[in-house]
A and B are shown apart, each in its own frame.
Chain A
């Protein structure tokens, strides 16, 4: 199983772009990278999933280099409501066991 490593925390200010990098050195060929957002006392919520290069949706972008050993979640123009914990998850393409990383606590300041 691919183990993920993320920064424990990061601070930002409203309107800035936040980039969170996740390391997954032993990712397998069939694995996908997924990011979740969690607010206190709530269940995590899906943000984005990708396999390689760049994926963009209405809330975030996900950048995955060619070697796929890391990925970067980019949150454009954050607001106070983006303060949350963000989890990187490597999803096995051939399996069902899921291992979440420790998460990155993002604090957006006014």
Chain B
């Protein structure tokens, strides 16, 4: 089954404790990206990656890092989480169609709470 898998789905942590949210897709997609969703603010892109070792900032990259060492994986790293990073996070992937990003496939989301 084609899917994007995120882990963990739920996490409560404390300020400053480094954490990683993993994202994996089994569709051989070139494009992967991370979003955060907050009430009243919709979906905001954090980082995206066009392919292995190619990453770039989205609209809200501050406080986050990413890496793309393998095509299927795109982890989101919070080096020193702060309470304003409490949010619902989504990973998504798509084929690169040559005319822009194609249909995005989203994961189920990871709800992160930073105390």
Chain A residues packing against B (C-beta within 8 Å): 30-32, 34, 36, 41-46, 49, 87, 91-103
21 pairs, CB–CB < 8 Å, chain A vs chain B: A32-B99, A32-B100, A41-B88, A41-B111, A42-B108, A42-B109, A43-B4, A43-B92, A43-B108, A44-B90, A44-B104, A44-B106, A45-B106, A46-B104, A46-B105, A91-B101, A92-B101, A94-B100, A96-B48, A96-B101, A99-B45
Question: In the complex, A91 Cα to B44 Cα: how many Å?
Answer: 14
Contacts of B41 in A (CB 8 A): 102
Interchain pairs with CB closer than 8 A, number:
69
Question: In the complex, A34 Cα to B94 Cα: how many Å?
Answer: 13
Q: Which of A32, A42, A97 contacts B48 (CB 8 A)?
A: A97
Q: Indicate if the CB atoms of A103 and B109 lie closer than 8 Å.
A: no
Chain B residues packing against A (C-beta within 8 Å): 4, 31, 33, 35, 41-45, 48, 50, 56, 58-59, 88, 90, 92, 99-109, 111
Q: A43-B108, A96-B56, A98-B101 are in contact. List 20 more A-B contacts (CB 8 A).
A: A36-B104, A41-B109, A43-B90, A44-B90, A44-B92, A44-B104, A44-B106, A46-B104, A46-B105, A49-B102, A87-B42, A96-B48, A96-B50, A97-B45, A97-B58, A98-B33, A98-B48, A99-B59, A100-B42, A103-B43
